[in-house]
């Protein structure tokens, strides 16, 4: 068996430790972050009849998709915060 490089083990361990450390989305932070999303559209897209997103996972995907256009990009935690706010105030999908 080939030896596994130590730094790879380190990276895997770091991931295992870091992943559960991510907190649930904080809507109050998400609301503040959202001002940076207003370059292209306002909140009118998040309500009927404009809103197309139908599930919480789609909402998360959509937020990640638009984050690709952001510079600087939001972190994973900030995306969680944005989604939490969008869902609390607009989409209201069951968790
Ligand atoms: C480069 C311009 C641009 C930026 C920046 C942008 N958006 Fe959008 N966004 C759009 C456009 C255009 C649509 C509509 C796409 C469509 O109708 O299919 C959209 C759609 C959405 C939707 C789906 C609405 C729905 O239910 O149909 C969400 C959610 C969303 N954006 C969130 C965000 C968030 C959060 C950010 C900040 C991270 C962001 N957007 C930044 C252009 C942008």
Of residues 35, 24, 21, 39, the one with CA closest to residue 88: 24
In this prediction, what percent of the chain has a pLDDT beyond 70?
82
Of residues 39, 32, 25, the one with CA closest to residue 93: 25
d(CA 63, ligand 1 centre) in Å: 7
Per-residue confidence band for 66, with pLDDT thresholds at 50, 70 and 90: very high
What residues line ligand 1, using a CB cutoff of 6 Å?
Answer: 37, 39-41, 45-46, 51-53, 59, 62-63, 66-67, 69-70, 74, 82, 86
CA-nearest residue for atom 37, ligand 1, is 37
**Using one digit for the tens of pLDDT, what is the confidence trace for 34-58?**
999 999 999 999 999 999 999 999 9
**Using one digit for the tens of pLDDT, what is the confidence trace for 14-33?**
555 555 567 899 999 999 99
The count of residues in the chain is: 95
């Amino acid at each position: 068996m080939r030896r596994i490089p130590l730094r790879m083990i380190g990276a895997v361990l770091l991931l295992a430790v870091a992943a559960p450390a991510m907190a649930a989305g904080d809507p109050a932070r998400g609301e503040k972050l959202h001002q940076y999303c207003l370059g292209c559209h306002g909140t009118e897209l998040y309500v009927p009849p404009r809103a197309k997103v139908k599930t919480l996972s789609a909402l998360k995907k959509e937020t990640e998709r638009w984050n690709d256009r952001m510079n600087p990009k939001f972190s994973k935690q900030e995306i969680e915060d944005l989604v939490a706010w969008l869902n609390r105030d607009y989409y209201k999908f069951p968790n």
